[in-house]
Amino acid sequence: NAGVTQTPKFQVLKTGQSMTLQCAQDMNHNSMYWYRQDPGMGLRLIYYSASEGTTDKGEVPNGYNVSRLNKREFSLRLESAAPSQTSVYFCASSVHREETQYFGPGTRLLVL
């Protein structure tokens, strides 16, 4: 039982490049989330998916898109990366949207 997995672990992009961060969970959870973590700012919600087939914006959605591919997988896409998107990205999942969230190990992204 791997829990929540994220790929890649680390990525360097140039400004304007695109990339997709992958997240998968094997806990049969219905809800999934994408956060970014910046020093001194805690975690901020980018997008979430309350259930398969639905996605909603969080606190800081600009510059990102998401896809809930199936119940297990929830990807985050940066279409045109900017230095302000340098951050650590965490995926999380929960049984339902009001239950405890469990986090993946994170992806460190550096945009030059």
Partner 1 sequence: AQSVAQPEDQVNVAEGNPLTVKCTYSVSGNPYLFWYVQYPNRGLQFLLKYITGDNLVKGSYGFEAEFNKSQTSFHLKKPSALVSDSALYFCAVRAYGNNRLAFGKGNQVVVIP
Binding site for partner 1 (CB under 8 A): 4, 31, 40-45, 48, 50, 58-59, 90, 92, 97-98, 100-106
Residue (37 or 67) nearer to partner 1, CB = 37
Q: Which is nearer to partner 1, 47 or 81 (CB)?
A: 47
> Minimum distance between the CB of residue 5 and partner 1, rounded to whole angstroms?
10
Smallest distance from the beta carbon of 93 to partner 1, in angstroms?
Answer: 12
For residue 78, the minimal CB distance to partner 1 (Å) is 20
1 near 26, Cβ under 8 Å?
yes
Decide whether 41 or 82 has the Cβ nearer to partner 1.
41
Structure-derived torsion over alpha carbons of residues 2, 95, 31, 18, reported in degrees to the nearest 10: -10
Nearest to residue 29, comparing CAs of 102, 99, 95?
A: 95
From first CA to last CA, the distance across the chain in angstroms is 36
Q: For partner 1, give the closer residue by CB, 17 or 61.
A: 61
Element spanning 76, H or E: strand 74-78
